[in-house]
């Protein structure tokens, strides 16, 4: 009986979990840059995160041949999780807080972030690995909400 | 647990598992949804390109068989941004290809897998004369990554790296021959029959291109997975002095200081920030623009920053390792830039902690 239950649970968990991890999570929004920027910050807040800073990356872009200077990096996180990670896994500090690069591409907008799950390979603490997995789900959900 | 409950639970699990398996097996992959999820970010929802090449170009779709598209998706182009989609099933890739075919009413070239016999020596001579200007002396492809950031493309496609393992695996001899004979309208690739070459000459060039398989393209950073994701140094100074040291070292490396701030700034109430983790942001604008030109997606590790951390009186200086991060991009040009950035970061950390 126990073996049967185990097999059943294994089948269900195999079907429920993704079998790969993309290194970069990318999303092309059909919205213009200002609209996408607004939608992104709204989606981040909806998922319970705080936007801590929006960094402009536009100095000299137009003089370097770009037709736009619409490039920003949005930093965000949850202070509780940040605190937990910085003590349990200090090696992750340089990768904190979460960030999404957002830039205009014509009339559309590109959003890119690193998949936090890739850091799980050098994390020893199970709770922190769980946080990284939750972050991946939240990032996918944030991009999904922007559709 | 009673026998009855056990039996019912087992039935539910078996039924649920069987249903899920059946659904997985029978559901036909949705090509459009898969394309939107995996390809549209780079190639655009309508296939008109962006960071990636314009797949909707009729001359392109006319001249490549499905097999070429399938293998390109499966193997990608090592070091040339297009990643290998190893985790997609054959059915999913077929569905994506079907969707891509819908971008143009042009019929795909019939599957042509046959090899072409030619004289590689003469092919090498002709290649140097007619092909090397665009495709590189050794088939290394056009310069740059082809990736754009809201810049008008000088050309609709960058000259492919003919020595790339992904290209050689995907393109059959006959496909290469057809491209040489007919050219590709809307791109700089001309018909070499019209340029005066004979079919025999073209066979020779194909043989030379195929000989690139014997050369192994040296990956810029073959063991990325073994590279530490972070750079860390112990500091023998206190936190405040170490921060000043980092600022001075960054300035000495031609970086401009942007700001120094607490790691949790903006996430906790003002005045409640921890002073034990301080981030020093700095930038070299010329380097920034050069790197963005190689790959606009690098913003996730910009601006440059070093974090100084104090734990029980011990001070550490740490940063991301750009060499490790560059593995995410499958971009050989970016790999080189990230190697340089790692060296600069290491110097800054050394200078700040010595």
Q: Report pLDDT digits (tens) over B67-99.
A: 999 999 999 999 888 999 999 999 999 999 999
Residues 6+ apart with CB under 8 A from B318: A90, A91, A93, A94, B230, B231, B232, B233, B306, B307, B309, B349
State both tokens at B169: 């695996």
The rounded mean pLDDT for chain A is 85
Is the pLDDT reported for residue B49 higher than 90?
A: no
Q: Report pLDDT digits (tens) over A67-85.
A: 667 889 999 999 999 999 9
Taking a C-beta distance cutoff of 8 angstroms, is the pair B296, B82 a contact?
no
Nearest to A93 among B45, B318, B328 (CB): B318
Taking a C-beta distance cutoff of 8 angstroms, is the pair B47, B58 a contact?
no
Q: Which of B53-67, B68-82, B105-119 has the lowest mean pLDDT?
A: B105-119
State both tokens at A95: 């990768």
Q: How far apart, in whole angstroms, are the C-alpha atoms of residue B265 and residue A97? A: 10
Per CB-CB distance under 8 Å, the chain A contacts of B286 are: 60
Among all residues of chain B, which has the CA nearest to that of A61? B289
For chain A, say whether B323 makes contact (Cβ under 8 Å): no
Per CB-CB distance under 8 Å, the chain A contacts of B289 are: 60-61, 64
Per CB-CB distance under 8 Å, the chain A contacts of B292 are: 57, 61, 64, 71
CB contact under 8 A, B297 and A77: no
Q: What is the pTM of this model?
A: 0.84
Scanning B36-95 for CB atoms below 8 A from A yields: 40-42, 44-45, 50-51, 86-87
pLDDT at B104: 87
Among all residues of chain A, which has the CA nearest to that of B300? A101
Scanning B110-129 for CB atoms below 8 A from A yields: none
Among all residues of chain A, which has the CA nearest to that of B46? A30
| Nearest residue to B301 via CA among B231, B246, B253 | B231
pLDDT at B45: 93
pLDDT at A16: 39
Is the pLDDT reported for residue A61 higher than 80?
A: no
pLDDT at A118: 87
Is the pLDDT reported for residue A8 higher than 70?
A: no
Alpha-carbon gap: A25 to the closest alpha carbon of chain B (Å): 10
Q: Which of B84-93, B221-230, B268-277 has the lowest mean pLDDT?
A: B221-230
| Nearest residue to B188 via CA among B336, B295, B71, B60 | B60
CB contact under 8 A, B277 and A97: no
Question: A with B: how many residue pairs have Cβ under 8 Å apart?
Answer: 165
Q: Report pLDDT digits (tens) over B321-347.
A: 999 999 999 988 899 999 999 999 999
CB contact under 8 A, B309 and A67: no
Instruction: Tell me A119's DSSP state.
Output: G
Is the pLDDT reported for residue A2 higher than 80?
A: no
Gyration radius from chain A CA atoms: 18
The total of other beta-carbon atoms located within 10 Å of residue A108's CB is: 19
Is the pLDDT reported for residue A129 higher than 60?
A: yes
Stretch B162-187: mean pLDDT, rounded?
A: 92
Instruction: List the beta bridge partners of residue B319.
Output: B231
Is the pLDDT reported for residue B198 higher than 60?
A: yes
Scanning B155-194 for CB atoms below 8 A from A yields: none
Q: How far apart, in whole angstroms, are the C-alpha atoms of residue B18 and residue B79? A: 42
pLDDT at B7: 63
CB contact under 8 A, B14 and A1: no
Alpha-carbon gap: A24 to the closest alpha carbon of chain B (Å): 6
| Nearest residue to B352 via CA among B266, B249, B210 | B249
pLDDT at B110: 72
Distance of alpha carbon B349 from the chain centroid:
29
Nearest to A91 among B24, B45, B230 (CB): B230
Residue A132 vs residues A81, A89, B150, B158: alpha-carbon distances, Å:
10, 12, 32, 37
Is the pLDDT reported for residue B106 higher than 60?
A: yes
Residue B151: CA count within 13 A, CB half-sphere: 21
Instruction: List the beta bridge partners of residue A111.
Output: A27, A102
Stretch A91-117: mean pLDDT, rounded?
A: 93
pLDDT at B117: 92
Q: Report pLDDT digits (tens) over A10-59.
A: 444 444 333 455 889 999 999 999 999 999 999 999 999 999 999 988 76
pLDDT at A12: 45
Maximal C-alpha separation, chain B: 86
At how many degrees (to 10) do helices A126-145 and A33-46 cross? 140
Residues 6+ apart with CB under 8 A from B166: B71, B72, B75, B76, B77, B78, B80, B82, B84
Per CB-CB distance under 8 Å, the chain B contacts of A96 are: 263
Of residues B143 and A114, more confidently modeled: A114
ipTM of the complex: 0.84
Among all residues of chain A, which has the CA nearest to that of B151? A66
CB contact under 8 A, A59 and B50: no
pLDDT at B267: 95
């Amino acid at each position: 009986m126990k073996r049967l239950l185990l097999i059943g649970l294994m089948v269900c968990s195999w079907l429920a979990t993704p079998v790969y991890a993309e290194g970069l999570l990318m999303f092309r929004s059909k919205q213009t840059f200002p609209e996408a920027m607004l939608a992104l910050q709204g989606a981040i807040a909806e998922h319970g995160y705080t936007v801590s800073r929006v960094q402009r990356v536009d100095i000299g872009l137009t003089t370097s041949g770009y037709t736009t200077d619409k490039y920003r990096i949005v930093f965000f996180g949850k202070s509780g999780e940040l605190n937990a990670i910085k003590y349990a896994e200090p090696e992750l500090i340089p990768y904190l807080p979460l960030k999404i690069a957002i830039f205009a591409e014509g009339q559309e907008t590109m959003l890119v972030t690193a998949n936090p799950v890739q850091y799980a390979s050098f994390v020893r603490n199970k709770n922190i690995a769980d946080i990284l997995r939750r972050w991946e789900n939240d990032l996918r959900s944030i991009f999904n909400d922007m559709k | 647990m009673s026998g009855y409950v056990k039996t019912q639970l087992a039935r539910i699990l078996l039924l649920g598992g069987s249903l899920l398996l059946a659904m997985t097996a029978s559901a036909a992959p949705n090509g459009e949804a898969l394309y939107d999820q995996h390809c549209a970010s780079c190639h655009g929802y309508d296939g008109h390109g962006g960071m990636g090449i314009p797949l909707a170009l009729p001359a392109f779709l006319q001249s490549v068989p499905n097999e070429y598209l399938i293998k390109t998706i499966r193997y990608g182009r090592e070091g040339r941004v297009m990643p290998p989609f190893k985790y997609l099933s054959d059915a999913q890739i077929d569905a994506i290809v079907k969707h891509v075919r819908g971008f143009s009413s042009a019929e795909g070239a019939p599957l042509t897998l046959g090899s072409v016999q030619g004289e590689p020596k003469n092919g090498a001579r002709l290649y140097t004369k007619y092909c090397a200007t665009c495709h590189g002396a050794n088939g290394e492809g056009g310069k740059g990554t082809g990736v754009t950031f809201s810049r008008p493309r000088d050309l609709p496609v960058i000259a492919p790296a003919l020595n790339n393992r992904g290209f050689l695996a995907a393109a059959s001899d006959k496909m290469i021959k057809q491209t040489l004979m007919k050219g590709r309208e809307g791109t700089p690739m001309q018909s070499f029959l019209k340029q005066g070459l004979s079919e025999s000459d073209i066979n020779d060039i194909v043989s030379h291109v195929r000989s690139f398989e014997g050369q192994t393209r040296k990956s810029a950073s073959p063991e990325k997975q073994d590279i530490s994701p972070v750079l860390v140094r112990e500091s023998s100074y206190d936190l405040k002095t170490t921060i000043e040291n980092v600022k001075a070292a960054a300035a000495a490396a031609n970086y401009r200081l942007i700001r120094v701030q607490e790691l949790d700034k903006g996430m906790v109430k003002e005045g409640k920030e921890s002073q034990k983790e301080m981030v020093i942001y700095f930038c070299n604008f010329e380097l920034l623009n050069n790197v963005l030109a190689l790959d606009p997606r690098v913003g996730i590790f910009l601006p440059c920053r070093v974090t100084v951390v104090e734990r029980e009186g011990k001070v550490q200086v740490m940063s991301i390792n750009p060499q490790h991060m560059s593995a995410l991009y499958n971009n050989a040009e970016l790999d080189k830039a990230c190697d340089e950035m790692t060296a600069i970061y290491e110097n800054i950390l050394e200078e700040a902690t010595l």
